[in-house]
A and B are shown apart, each in its own frame.
Chain A
Amino acid sequence: MKYKLEAKNIDVFYGKLKALSKINIGITENAVTALIGPSGCGKSTFLRLFNRMNDYIDSFKLNGDILIDDKNIYEKDVFVDELRKNVGMVFQKPNPFPKSIFENVAYGLKIQGIKDKEFINTRVKDALKQAALWEEVKDDLNKSALALSGGQQQRVCIARALAVEPSIILMDEPTSALDPIATAKVEKLIHTLKEKYTIIIVTHNMQQAARISDYTAFFYMGDLIEFDKTNTIFTNPKMERTENYITGRFG
């Protein structure tokens, strides 16, 4: 089977600490894959392998291959800036820049050196529409993004990631700082976005993983314990540790 992203025999070290051990996984295109597990299990480290965010950590060391469209993204001929155009990321807390809504969404395009205003306007509008925010902000594009609600700010961040037209979106607990209504909007958005994008999401919310993902991977202490279709994980997991975790009997 052909996968959009693949991890092959992945070991990750932070100095002497082994954060991930012998991870093998294939991520399906145009699907949502949830990474779950207790704090410190390695799920965020694993997520950040796909846009090389861990490279910033001095003690980080990787063994194994991370493939996107069959290309190892840790090979020397890969430009990280180019990689990140293809792999967008949304973080736990909404982190808009202290700029207008328009400037926030256009930011990625401008640092790519794009100056065509009409092109930028079209991309910003499309990205805000895809992020289900256009109708709410179309008359206030020059308003500071910081003046928006938390849920709207997170959707600005999603629009900012979409504006550079990636094919993959990484989400690290994107709704953990949002109220239930804003969470529901982001979850609905994720469901819509998977038609065009491959999405990997880290979440501590079991029900969220069950609601929005097609596949779920359960990590524990740096090991991938189980990876399967989400409905299998949440109705009939194969591994006892997975069952204990998702039913709250862990420890």
Chain B
Amino acid sequence: MNNIEKEIFDLKSSLLKMFLLVEGQWEKGANAILNYDQDIAEEISSSENRINAQELKIDSDCENIIALHAPVAVDLRFILSARKINHALEHIADIAESVAKYVADHDIPYDKEIMTKTRISEMLEIFNTMMDCLLEAFEKEDPRIARRVFKKDKLINKINADAPQIIIDNINNYDKNMLLYLLSSIRKIERAADSLKKIGEEIIYHIEAKVLKHVNKDINLKG
């Protein structure tokens, strides 16, 4: 293994750690929402510092590799995608914290019935499978696995699109504040899933040198 290979190996390990930290945040976030666990919701906030520190470390490692090793071709693509994946993961972790904040700050739990109607638990389940796909795709450098997230993202978009009408239909049946926070959480989960989709695009860019950003969404589903 030459110098740059070792640096890239170490950077990949750091990003895998970041993936696992963020995945852990989401697992806690889902648990907090679905089971109204305020202790777990508080724990998410305290884990945020570790994720921020890991983000800064990865950023700094990327800069050093560019400055000291002048990467090209597949190495350059890996560094460029690593930086974007790093920022996307940090953003996703921020959203997990934000989603859990309602549970930590409010005493009225999300009603089980409206949660079922809005399909938020299904949304969180799909989100977790997206995260698993990306982790595996990144680790194995397999673009076919990365591509699986595009279809899952569409399912999340659909749940998000249906949610406002469900909330309107039930506005007089539940605590309004709780309903608004629930809708807000659904929207945030949808935004986090968009970031996961971008991570999938970056994994494909690294391996295949194909830029999927801003292209026809139907193309994303192929391959």
Are A243 and B2 also in contact (CB < 8 A) when A235-B209, A236-B209 are?
no
**B2 and A235 within 8 A (CB):** no
**A235 and B5 within 8 A (CB):** no
Instruction: Write the B39-67 contact mask toward A (1 if CB under 8 angstroms, else 0).
Output: 00000000000000000000000000000
Chain B residue contacts of A246, Cβ below 8 A? 72-73
Chain B residue contacts of A210, Cβ below 8 A? 72
Chain B residue contacts of A248, Cβ below 8 A? 2, 4
**B4 and A237 within 8 A (CB):** no
**Chain A contact residues: helix, strand, loop or mixed:** helix
Chain A residue contacts of B70, Cβ below 8 A? 206-207
Total interface residues on B, CB under 8 Å, equals 12
A234 at the interface (CB under 8 A from B): yes
Chain A residue contacts of B126, Cβ below 8 A? none
**B209 and A247 within 8 A (CB):** no
A249 at the interface (CB under 8 A from B): yes
Chain A residue contacts of B73, Cβ below 8 A? 234-237, 242-243, 246-247
**B4 and A247 within 8 A (CB):** yes
Instruction: Write the A218-251 contact mask toward B (1 if CB under 8 angstroms, else 0).
Output: 0000000000000000111100001100111100
**B interface, CB within 8 angstroms of A:** 2, 4-5, 70-77, 209
Residue on A nearest B76 in the bound complex, by CB: A235
Chain A residue contacts of B5, Cβ below 8 A? 249
Chain B residue contacts of A206, Cβ below 8 A? 70, 72
Residue on A nearest B70 in the bound complex, by CB: A207
Chain B residue contacts of A247, Cβ below 8 A? 4, 71-75
- A249→B4 CA distance, assembly (Å): 9
Q: How far is the CB of B131 from chain A (nearest CB, A)?
A: 28
Most buried by A among B70, B73, B75, B77: B73
Q: How far is the CB of B2 from chain A (nearest CB, A)?
A: 5
Chain A residue contacts of B77, Cβ below 8 A? 235-236
Interface residues of A in 152-211 (CB under 8 A from B): 206-207, 210
- A206→B75 CA distance, assembly (Å): 14
